[in-house]
Amino acid sequence: MPQIRPYRPADRDGLYDVCVKTADSGADATGILSDDRLWGDVWAVPYAERHPDLCWVVESDDARVIGYIVATDDTLSFERWFHDEWWPTRVGEYPEPPVTGHPRQDWVMSYAAARGGNDEPNAAEYPAHLHIDLLPETQGMGLGRRLTELLFTELAGRGVAGLHLGMNPDNIGAGKFYERLGMQVLPSAEGVRVYGVRFGAPSAIG
């Protein structure tokens, strides 16, 4: 039976692996970009580097990382750190856009470069944010809910007011999952769906 445990530095490659295998609206994105690790360098590993105490992994019976939740308790601070400290150390690992034959890579690189340049409109009331990814073999075990409960409990205990997350609206399964947790749709830009939950209000995890 898979087990949830706190993140360890040795899990870093596991984050990269799970991230790419779920990056295409929940499906495997292997080979879509020129380097599969780019997904993890934008949406998974920097959180583990900045906030290892807000990261948990799902470990399989044979000791593989097969899921994770990563987060920050302060979105604006995290985005500035990503822009000023994290991304400059990673961008040289990937071809600068445009990359012939990789139109989605242009978007990922541009998105990463722009992080920290604009305030997130929901961050004042919902300062934390998360990313959660689970391989298909974990489905039906309640692991996503358990991971989310762990994170919500930790954030509430720290006095964090709330949490938001953005997602591809095409990922219908993920949207239904967040709604089952009691998260509410928040204002968002075109092409993105944002959910949020306030801690101290009626529980999203009860």
> How does DSSP classify residue 85?
I
pLDDT under 70 in the chain at which residues? 96-99, 101, 118, 201-206
- Cα 204 to its chain centre, rounded Å, is 19
Q: In whole angstroms, give the CA distance from residue 89 to residue 8.
A: 21
pLDDT of the residue at 204: 46
Sign of CA dihedral 10, 51, 75, 124: positive
**SS3 sequence of 99-130:** CCCCHHHHHHHHHHHHCCCCCCCCCCCCCEEE
pLDDT of the residue at 202: 43
List, in order, residues 6 or more apart from 2 with CB less than 8 Å away: 58, 59, 60, 61, 66, 67, 138, 141, 143
E strand or H helix that includes residue 194: strand 193-198
pLDDT of the residue at 143: 96
pLDDT of the residue at 98: 62
List, in order, residues 6 or more apart from 28 with CB less than 8 Å away: 20, 21, 22
Exposure on the CB side of residue 107, measured as CA atoms within 13 A: 8
pLDDT of the residue at 114: 92
Which pTM was predicted? 0.90
Peptide bond into 169 cis (omega under 30): no
pLDDT of the residue at 205: 47
| Tens of pLDDT, residues 71-108 | 999 999 999 999 999 999 999 998 766 667 678 888 89
Q: What is the set of domains in the chain, with CATH numbers?
A: 3-141 (3.40.630.30)
pLDDT of the residue at 96: 67
pLDDT of the residue at 172: 83
